[in-house]
Amino acid sequence: MTSAAIDNPEQGDNEKRKLIGIVIFNNFETLDVFGPVQMWGRLSGHRVVFISPDGRPAHSAQGAVIEASYSFEDAPQSDVLMIPGGMGTRKLVNDPATLAFVRMQHQHTSWTTSVCTGAAILARAGVLDGRRATTNKVAFDWVASQSAKVQWLGRARWVVDGKLITSSGVSAGTDMALSLVTNLYGRGAAEEVAAVAEYVWNDDPYNDPFAIKPNITAEADITL
């Protein structure tokens, strides 16, 4: 039995739902996108759309292809914006159109999020200035080099600072996505979404098995 927060896919008015806009690009990391999609895809008050720079399909690093719902030019305002990681971010951190789109959307989002090296794009766009954030620990030094104005945390599964949520690498995005469900719909809804997916949720942002720097000493450090 599902709660009011989880939608029957045969019911509901998509046009009335707020948008969760996921930016896609060639060489994105597959699980960075599909982990959160699994957790967000049936929320009663939101619907997931995919946004690529030019509106064309995007190919993941593992060969999956996603059709874009919108381009940067015609994308409506998202309530939640998510930037995934992957090798494609290495190019996009220097792409003016991508950075401008992120800045524009971020002005009016309720939540702006990233998975893995997607945080590098947020950093280069300037939206993480003065904030705490984390990223993939394997690529930590490269991401951190994108902005010295960010307090990069090497021990965190995900970090909440204001309306910004950044997660560690790949699978951490699924845990982050469930934490966002908690913020939007409550803890019970997040637990239900995880149970439907038969997913064991790491719901502790301090529980970071891949931590590289033990710099988390208080809850306020990562959940502001």
Catalytic center residues: 116
Residue keyed to tokens 């990233």 = 114
Query: Given the structure tokens 């991508």, which residue do they identify?
Result: 98
Partner residues linked to 114 by β-bridges: 83, 166
State CA 171 to chain mean position distance.
11
Q: What φ, ψ does residue 133 adopt, rounded to 5°?
A: -160, 165
Given phi > 0 = left and psi -120 to 50 = alpha, else beta, which region is 49? beta
The gap between the terminal CA atoms of the chain, to the nearest Å, is 34
Whole-number Å distance between alpha carbons of 94 and 108: 23
Quick one: how far is CA 118 from the chain centroid? 8
